[in-house]
Amino acid sequence: MRPHAEAHFAEVDGGVEPRRKFRLDEPLMKAIADAGSLKTVIARHDGSLVGYYTWNIAPDIESAGLLIAQQGAWYVDPGHPRVAVMMWDVAIASLKALGVQCVFPHHRMQGRGAHIGRFFKRRGAKKIQDSYVLWIGDS
């Protein structure tokens, strides 16, 4: 997945905060997955990986007893738009089967997904926030 993750990072984060460099923490991802808190959907075409979708699953600390999922990375190689919709459907069904009751999808403001909010709204989602990045570390 590394080449896809690098391409995704370049597409949606490239140039936004130049001091935030792509450096996948594979041991942390494995630990989160082993703990049952990471759901990954993989898409293949003719045996080759063409996309992935991750969700971070956790209890909602603001709503006791509610299991939620925050969308992580969602990337599909160019030229496979229908795959993205199928991945959404598979992800939602898989999360429901795990007992997740509320999901929080998002999108970045650059890249091919910049306007995917319309897709989320057609699926019944409501816009609840805008997010920002602010570097506060050393230069």
Q: Give all domains of the chain, ordered by start, each with its CATH number.
A: 2-122 (3.40.630.30)
* Contact (CB, 8 A) for 100 and 69: yes
- Which pLDDT score is estimated for 3? 86
The pLDDT value recorded for residue 2 is 83
Give me the pLDDT at residue 1, please: 77
Cα 29 to Cα 37: distance, rounded to the nearest angstrom: 10
pLDDT at 134: 92
Task: Return the HEC string of the chain.
Answer: CHHHHHHHHHHHHCCCCCCCCCCCCHHHHHHHHHCCCEEEEEEEECCEEEEEEEEEEEECCCCCCCEEEEEEEEEECCCCHHHHHHHHHHHHHHHHHCCCCEEECCCCCCCCCCCCHHHHHHCCCCCCCCCCCCCCCCC
CA dist., res. 54 & res. 138, Å (int)? 30
pLDDT in tens, the chain (139 residues): 788 888 888 888 888 898 899 999 999 999 999 999 999 999 999 999 999 999 999 999 999 999 999 999 999 999 888 899 999 999 999 999 999 999 999 998 888 899 999 999 999 999 999 999 999 998 7
Question: pTM value?
Answer: 0.89
